[in-house]
Amino acid sequence: MGTLSHAITPKLALPGHDFSSSSSYYGLTFPSYLNSRFQGSNSTTRLAKKIRVSAESAKHRPAIDFSDPDWKSKFQNDFETRFNIPHITDVFDDAVSIPSTFCLRMRTPVSEEFARGYPSDEEWHGYINKNDRVLLKVIRYSSPTSAGAECIDPDCTWVEQWVHRAGPREKIYFRPEEVKAAIVTCGGLCPGLNDVIRQIVITLEIYGVKKIVGIPFGYRGFSAKELNEMPLSRKVVQNIHLSGGSLLGVSRGGPSISEIVDSMEERGINMLFVLGGNGTHAGANAIHIECRTRRMKVAVVGVPKTIDNDILLMDKTFGFDTAVEEAQRAINSAYIEAHSAYHGVGIVKLMGRSSGFIAMHAALSSGQIDICLIPEVPFNLHGPHGVLRHLKYLIETKGSAVVCVAEGAGQDFLQKTNAKDASGNVVFGDIGVHIQQEIKKAFKAISVPVDVKYIDPTYMIRACRANASDGILCTVLGQNAVHGAFAGYSGITVGICNTHYVYLPIPEVISYPRLVDPNSRMWHRCLTSTGQPDFI
């Protein structure tokens, strides 16, 4: 088996497809009259402004023959196959289910007397049928030119796509007294980590699990001899959600997949809950596959954690709402600095390596941003349509301006370093500093005084406590992660889709980061709020 970074890195390639030089995208072929819409750099770099193919639903399948009258049913069958979530009965034909020990009517955790069967005091109708499904896409676009359209074929045919509903099942495949559950948090910090840890522990105890441990400092905790697993209980985690960070600590990278699974086998871990982003989930999926290869009865369940909100197919990930809310403090400070100075310009850099969701939502919610720059939308700093020319106009007309920029935006302007962090991510240059310097040089060249203030609240935003919205999301995600594990599912992650909680196979959500669609209504709303032009 390769190292953990080897398992993660291939999963994180960004889609760099050039629409202008090809008639297909992720296996979908377009007629020539549609290809003409992609011609020119503007169309290409703005992710096909007029037509956006639903790449996440097409990436792993061969080209569709739309002349086949049965293409729609074949697509749906293929989709159902790909989104069928792995279950321990796929490997263990003789796996026996037992009545669930999770029933709120019981009020107290399961005791030893139920060791041979777990009857509840009375029938409870709070379980989820294993055949319940949630509709993945709810908008029926009538035209591929509709704002934000996600189409399977050039005619934008309506195709139903259903995913598994999350929640407690009436039958479970693990006996609580035989479970040793482990929780690990990987990557960077994110508001809500402690909330998820807390709720996983509480829900495990309601099922009757007595052996719950935390793996310290990410995947590294599986191999580092100086790091001991942390016993967890409701008493330990009762108040951890009142502070930010992670009770277990975080880190990037780690040992090989084989070493991790060896450690799990040695410790007797048969439930693993992994909190992390795309890279962490790629590692979790590799662990799941290795456990299956070794025929280990283990449930590996992910909880998507990314402050950038860049996980495919999900409404949002935990920590995002808190990040947007905390960003308001920095934006307001930048506004006050700029508004109080003669020819003041405030610059705020927010997190968002490949996706500009935080910057877009923060700009939209604050109402104080004049220019919002995100990785998905190219821009020029110089030239007649550049950012600097628009800043000059703002200074002349308003007297001040506030710029919000995502960390991954405008990286083409910066010198490449080839440096990478422990997760294999390219270390970016500081676009905020670069814009600050370019503004000063540009205004000095035209002899216009300008007072530029630059604010980078990155670590302040991600280290804070989750707000109420994220607290609710974390609570339900933690509960459903445990329900999924006891139901016998593995190699899955839990998320929220169209306001409903669902289980998704990990490979389908880690193909590449979710991006802001420049033709989406939300980006259009942001542009309406800022009043900014195209900077190209």
Residue 351 is labelled as binding a ligand: yes
| CA distance linking residue 111 with residue 124, whole number of Å | 19
Ligand-binding site membership of 308 (annotated): yes
Question: 122 in helix, strand or coil?
Answer: coil
126 is in an annotated binding site: no
Nearest-angstrom CA–CA distance, 451 and 343: 6
Under a CB-based contact definition with an 8 Å cutoff, are residues 284 and 233 in contact? no
Q: What are phi and psi of 304, to 5 degrees?
A: -65, 120
Token pair, residue 207, equals 């099922």
Q: How far apart are CA 1 and CA 152, in angstroms?
A: 37
**17: Cα within 13 Å, side-chain hemisphere:** 17
Annotated binding residue 484 = no
Quick check: is 308 catalytic?
yes
Structure tokens at 124: 């409870």
Q: Confirm or deny that 307 is annotated as ligand binding.
A: yes
Would you say 271 is a known binding-site residue? Answer: no
Residue 480 near residue 492 (C-beta atoms within 8 A)? no
The reply to whether 290 sits in an annotated binding site is: no
User: Which letter does DSSP use for residue 101 in this model?
Assistant: S
Q: Tell which phi-psi region holds residue 144, choosing left (phi > 0), alpha (psi between -120 and 50) or beta.
A: alpha
The arrangement of strands across the sheet holding 371-373 comes to 371-373, 400-406, 344-350, 451-455
Q: How far apart are alpha carbons 176 and 110 in whole angstroms?
A: 9
Q: Indicate the residue type of 212.
A: I
**Is the separation of the CB atoms in 522 and 324 below 8 Å?**
no
Q: Tell me the one-letter amino acid at 183.
A: I
Query: What is the spatial distance between Cα 15 and Cα 28, in angstroms, rounded to a whole number?
Result: 14
Is 306 annotated in some ligand binding site? yes
Mutual angle of helices 278-293 and 257-267, in 10-degree steps:
60
**Residue 420 carries which DSSP code?**
B
Tell whether residue 295 is among the known ligand binding residues: no
Q: Check the annotation: does 239 bind a ligand.
A: no
Q: Which residues contact 18 (CB under 8 A, 6 or more apart)?
A: 44
Catalytic residue among 308, 321, 370, 470: 308
Q: What is the bridge-based pairing of β-strands 180-185 and 271-276? A: parallel
Pick the closest to residue 343 from 443, 455, 446 (CA basis): 443
Three-class SS state of 319: coil
Bridge partners, 401 (sequence order)? 345
454 is in an annotated binding site: no
> Is residue 399 a known part of a binding site?
no
Mapped onto helix, strand or coil, the DSSP state of residue 388 is helix
Q: Is 1 annotated as a binding residue?
A: no
Q: Is 234 annotated as a binding residue?
A: no
Is 152 a known ligand-binding residue? no
Structure tokens at 219: 């995947």
Four-residue CA torsion sign, 465, 466, 471, 477: negative
The residues annotated as belonging to the active site are: 308
Q: Please state the residue numbers annotated as binding site for substrate.
A: 306-308, 351-353, 407, 459-462
Task: Tell me the binding residues for ATP.
Answer: 188, 252-253, 277-280
Binding residues for Mg(2+): 278
Binding residue positions: 188, 252-253, 277-280, 306-308, 351-353, 407, 459-462
